[in-house]
């Protein structure tokens, strides 16, 4: 699948899980499809029940297709659970909840990966079939796996995140395979194309959603050198993470739970930073203060507009 851009500019968004998918959806609703490219974290992909599962790609895809489950924040809406009920009776692993409809994507993706298709190809085809207009691409077609070290040693990310429900105290994170991973070529071509309007770092967990993307050799430099402003949206609102273990991780890693801590992680990469009122202290990047909480669809669109407007003013 190739997109030929004639004249139009491109917004490149980096996204992890639910928060990222919310802003990506907002961006998708205010931009023509061909002007948005979303780069998804694959560090929390994992192999489970013999299937390759890509939670962040799927959260993005379902959100952009309008198939996401607003009640859970993961999986699909109108889901059924017969598979999960049954696999428990067979002694299979049931700690990672896979709905019957969601499962179809994992089975079909695993089959196609086994047949030699790349994750990018599969993701593009799934997006096309589900009616997703913007490009969604993995940060790499090579395998990168986030690992978490706690006092009981190194464990896989989903073991930490889902099976142990983020209970272990995080001492260190590693992105296994990242050093040898090749950045997704279409992403690199887009960044080198000279027509990037803005790079948007979505309000995802910096440690487990964005840093795996930045750890792929060449990607951070390509973002830095693409000629467009790099603008992040802080995932911290009122000194707390909107969702997930971001705040708990920051505490465990000895960092203040603040938007400034997140900005410090991104360092010189940032040209601008969008923060919620009350979280604006101690940040070196240019700031745009606005409400960053995305509850409704209108919130998502409004924040997307604010972020792009701010980025345009930074050019």
Q: Token digits for 178?
A: 């990242």
Tell me the CA end-to-end span of the chain in Å, nearest whole number: 30
* Integer Cα distance of 119 and 72 in angstroms: 25
CB of 24 to its own copies, least distance (A): 21
CB of 91 to its own copies, least distance (A): 6
Is the Cβ of residue 4 or residue 90 nearer to its own copies in the bound state? 90
Is the Cβ of residue 125 or residue 186 nearer to its own copies in the bound state? 125
Q: Report the residue from 2, 89, 152, 296 that binds its own copies according to the rule CB under 8 A.
A: 89
Q: Looking at 91-99, 191-199, 233-241, 299-307, which segment touches its own copies (CB under 8 A)?
A: 91-99
234 touches 257 (CB < 8 A): no
Is the Cβ of residue 133 or residue 227 nearer to its own copies in the bound state? 133
CB of 155 to its own copies, least distance (A): 19
Is the Cβ of residue 86 or residue 165 nearer to its own copies in the bound state? 86
How buried is residue 24: exposed, middle or buried, by Cβ count under 10 Å (0-12/13-18/19+)? buried
Site for its own copies in 27-86 (CB under 8 A): 49-51, 79-80, 82-86
Tokens 């700031």 belong to which residue? 287
Site for its own copies in 124-183 (CB under 8 A): 125-126, 129-130
Is the Cβ of residue 50 or residue 254 nearer to its own copies in the bound state? 50
State whether the Cα torsion 78-33-185-128 is positive or negative.
positive
CB of 28 to its own copies, least distance (A): 20
How buried is residue 149: exposed, middle or buried, by Cβ count under 10 Å (0-12/13-18/19+)? middle
Tokens 């089975």 belong to which residue? 107
Is the Cβ of residue 130 or residue 169 nearer to its own copies in the bound state? 130
Calculate helix-pair angle for 100-114, 82-89, nearest 10 degrees. 80
CB of 30 to its own copies, least distance (A): 27
Counting contacts by CB under 8 A, is residue 111 touching its own copies?
Answer: yes
* Integer Cα distance of 137 and 264 in angstroms: 26
* Integer Cα distance of 219 and 177 in angstroms: 15
Q: Which residues bind its own copies (CB under 8 A)?
A: 49-51, 79-80, 82-87, 89-92, 99-101, 103-105, 107-108, 110-111, 114, 125-126, 129-130
């Amino acid at each position: 699948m190739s997109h030929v851009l004639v004249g139009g500019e491109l917004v490149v968004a980096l996204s992890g899980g639910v928060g990222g998918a919310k802003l990506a959806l907002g961006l998708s609703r205010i931009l023509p499809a061909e002007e948005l490219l979303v780069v998804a974290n694959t560090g929390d992909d994992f192999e489970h029940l013999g299937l390759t599962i890509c939670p962040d790609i799927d959260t993005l895809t379902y959100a952009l297709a309008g198939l996401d489950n607003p009640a859970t924040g993961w999986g699909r809406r109108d889901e059924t659970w017969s598979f999960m009920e049954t696999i428990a009776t067979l002694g299979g692993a049931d700690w990672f909840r896979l709905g019957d409809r969601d499962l179809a994507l994992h089975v079909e993706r695993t089959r196609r990966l086994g047949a030699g298709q790349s994750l990018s190809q599969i993701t593009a085809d799934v997006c096309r079939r589900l009616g997703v207009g913007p490009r969604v691409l993995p940060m790499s077609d090579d395998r990168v796996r986030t690992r978490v070290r706690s006092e009981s040693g190194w464990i896989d990310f989903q073991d930490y995140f889902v099976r142990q429900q983020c209970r272990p105290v995080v001492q260190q994170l590693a992105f296994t395979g990242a050093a040898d991973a090749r950045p997704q070529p279409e992403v690199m071509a887009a960044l080198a194309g000279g027509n990037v309007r803005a790079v948007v770092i979505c309000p995802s967990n910096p440690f487990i959603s964005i840093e795996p993307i930045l750890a792929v050799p060449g990607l951070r430099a390509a973002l830095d050198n693409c000629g467009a402003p790099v603008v992040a949206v802080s995932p911290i609102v009122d000194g707390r993470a909107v969702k997930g273990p971001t705040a708990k991780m920051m505490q465990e890693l000895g960092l203040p739970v603040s938007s400034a801590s997140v900005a410090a992680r991104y360092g010189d990469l940032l040209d601008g930073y969008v923060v919620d009122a009350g979280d604006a202290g101690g940040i070196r990047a240019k700031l745009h203060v606005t409400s960053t909480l995305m509850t409704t669809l209108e919130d998502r669109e409004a924040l997307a507009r604010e972020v792009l407007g701010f980025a345009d003013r930074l050019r």
